[in-house]
Structures are given as C-alpha cells and as structure tokens.
C-alpha cells in the first residue's frame, strides 16, 4: 500500500484572534515532494505552516479535515518527532549557551537547552552524531551557539530539526539575514537533504532559495491558495508580478532563479 501523504487539508478555514486568516484551503502534499510556498506579507503562509504542525486548528466545519501522515489526531510531542520546523528564530535565550552538539540534541525535547531533568539516550547521541555529519557541522560540535555566525546557527537549527524528525522539514524563511556565502551553504544543504529524500516545504521571499529539486510551487494571497502547480508554469515573471502586485523580472540559470 502506498504511504499516506504527509499532508491532506480539506476545506480548511483558520481564524486568528477575530480575523479569518485562511479561507477554504485544500491541499495534499506527498512524502518526498519538495514545495515552495510564495505570497505577499501577511497572506497566511506561516499560518498555513502552523496548521501543518497542529499549532493552530481550523474551524470545525462539516467538510473540514486535517490529516498529517494519514492521522487526524496527534499528540503534539509525538508530531514534533515526525516534523522538523526551521525558522530564523532561536528556540530561546538558553540556546545561545548550548554547544553545537547539545543544540542538535535539544531537538529531541523541543527545548531551548539540555535542562538537567532531560535524559539523553545513547540512541539520541548516535542520531545527533549522524546529523552533525549530515549538516557538515563537525567544526561546530563544541562551539557555543552564541559564538556562531548567523549561517552556522541556521545550519545547527536545521540539524536540530532533523535530529528528531522522520524526514520532513518545514522551513520558514530560512535564508533571512544570511550573507551570500551563508545563503549558498544553506541552499547546498537543502539540496543534499532533498536528494536524500527529505520532504521540504519552504516558505520564502527569496526566489533564489527555490533550489532545482523544488518542483512544485504554491501561491497564496489573502489567505487562499490561488495557484498550485509545476515550477515552469508558475515561476514566471508574469505570475510573480500578479502575485505580488508589482512588475517583476526573473532570470534563470542552471535551475536557479533570481527575481527583482
């Protein structure tokens, strides 16, 4: 039997505070797919991501359904073990004192540091060792996060998300505030992960982040998914211009794109 999709959303409406933010979102994402989610500020991208991680719930309506890895109900701690979320934000101030290796281990507990009451098993250590190699982070093993460059911190945050997750990464503007070299390193790491079979869902305003392995593009505006299709069809100057309401120029080279 084919594996259940990573995500299935049916008629999803989400309200935050008093404001309806997502309107009738219908979406299926299969395991092994790589997707870029694009849209103007405030259109609901992060809200959609939080719906995927069950941090936000849709309105209970007759046809509404959220299934993650085929299941409607999740214990949040258990779900976090399947889904790694990477954003530019740190998990908390204590994270700055953690070494690179310990910072990766915090992913197993969704904590900001290895608090004394947490039990790190040998299995967790072995997994963290593998992740450290996977993210090419051996040099960061003993370095406190607070002494790392922004690019190195982002690498460790990806490692933290990978440690506990079973092959799906949700990335919310991962290249924010990274210099050109760190952006390139991040893209290379995303490419390696995608090629190794990790499902990537990438929210970005930086079109250059859309690595060649990403083949599907979702466009959102005003809380709705207004387009869902292949990159050749949607990643065009015209479609981006319509989406952002401004003239856009687009260049492609070797499977990478630049927009301005």
Cβ proximity to ligand ATP: between 76 and 138 the closer is: 76
**CA 229 to CA 220: how far, in whole Å?**
12
| Per-residue H/E/C for 133-200 | HHCCCHHHCCCEHHHCCHHHHHHHHHHHHHHHCCCEEEEECCCCCCCHHHHHHHHHHHHHHHHCCCEE
Contacts of 113 (CB under 8 A, 6+ apart): 92, 94, 95, 97, 98, 102, 106
Residue 235, CA distances (Å) to 144, 219, 244, 254, 256 in order: 39, 10, 13, 14, 11
Site string for ligand ATP, 45-84 (x = CB under 6 A): xxx-------------------------------------
Stretch that binds ligand ATP, among 41-49, 93-101, 184-192, 209-217 (CB under 6 A): 41-49
Q: Taking CB under 6 A as the rule, does residue 38 contact ligand ATP?
A: no
Residue 36 within binding range of ligand ATP, rule CB under 6 A? no
The answer to the question of residue 19 lying near ligand ATP (CB under 6 A) is yes
**Is residue 21 a contact point for ligand ATP (CB under 6 A)?**
yes
Q: Does 42 bind ligand ATP (CB under 6 A)?
A: yes
In 3D space, the residue among 51, 53, 42, 6 whose CA is nearest the CA of residue 24 turns out to be: 51
Give the binding range for ligand ATP (CB under 6 A) out of 35-43, 58-66, 88-96, 157-165: 35-43
Q: How far is 118 from 135, CA to CA, in rounded Å?
A: 24
3-state secondary structure at position 36: strand
Please tell me whether residue 41 binds ligand ATP under the rule CB under 6 A: yes
Place of tokens 């395991």: 31
Q: What's the closest the beta carbon of residue 19 comes to ligand ATP, in angstroms?
A: 5
Q: Closer to ligand ATP by CB, 45 or 154: give it.
A: 45
Q: Is residue 246 part of the contact set for ligand ATP (CB under 6 A)? A: no
Instruction: Report, in Å, the least distance between residue 57 CB and ligand ATP.
Output: 14
Q: By CB under 6 A, which span of 38-46, 52-60, 87-95, 241-249 interacts with ligand ATP?
A: 38-46
Query: Smallest gap, in angstroms, from Cβ of residue 51 to ligand ATP?
Result: 10
Element (H, E) at 227: strand 224-230
Q: Residue 180 CB, nearest distance to ligand ATP (Å)?
A: 22
Q: What is the DSSP track for 39-70?
A: --TTSSHHHHHHHHTTSS-----TT-EEEETT
Residue 13 in contact with ligand ATP, rule: CB under 6 A: no
The verdict on 44 binding ligand ATP (CB under 6 A) reads yes
Site of interaction with ligand ATP (CB under 6 A): 16-17, 19, 21, 39, 41-47
């Amino acid at each position: 039997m084919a594996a259940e999709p990573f995500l299935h959303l049916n008629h999803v409406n989400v309200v935050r505070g008093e404001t309806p933010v997502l309107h009738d979102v219908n979406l299926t994402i299969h395991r092994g797919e790589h997707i870029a989610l694009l849209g103007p500020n405030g259109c609901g991208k992060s809200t959609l991501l939080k719906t995927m991680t069950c941090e936000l719930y849709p309105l209970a309506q007759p046809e509404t359904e959220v299934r993650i890895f085929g299941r409607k109900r999740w214990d949040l701690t258990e779900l976090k073990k399947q889904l790694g979320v990477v954003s530019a934000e740190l998990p908390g101030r204590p994270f700055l004192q953690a070494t690179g290796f310990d910072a990766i281990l915090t992913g197993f507990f969704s904590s900001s540091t290895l608090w004394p009451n947490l039990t790190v098993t040998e299995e967790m250590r072995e997994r963290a060792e593998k992740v450290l190699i996977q993210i090419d982070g051996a040099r960061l093993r003993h370095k406190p996060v607070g002494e790392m460059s922004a690019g190195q911190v982002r690498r460790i945050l990806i490692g933290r998300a990978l440690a506990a997750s079973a092959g799906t990464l949700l990335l919310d503007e991962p290249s924010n505030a990274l210099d050109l070299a760190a952006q390139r390193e991040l893209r290379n790491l995303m490419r390696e992960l995608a090629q190794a079979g990790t499902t990537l869902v990438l929210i970005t305003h930086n079109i250059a982040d859309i690595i060649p392995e990403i083949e599907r593009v979702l466009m959102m505006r005003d809380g709705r998914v207004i387009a869902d299709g292949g990159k050749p069809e949607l990643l065009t100057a015209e479609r981006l211009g319509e989406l952002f309401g401004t003239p856009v120029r687009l260049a492609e080279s070797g499977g990478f794109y630049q927009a301005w």
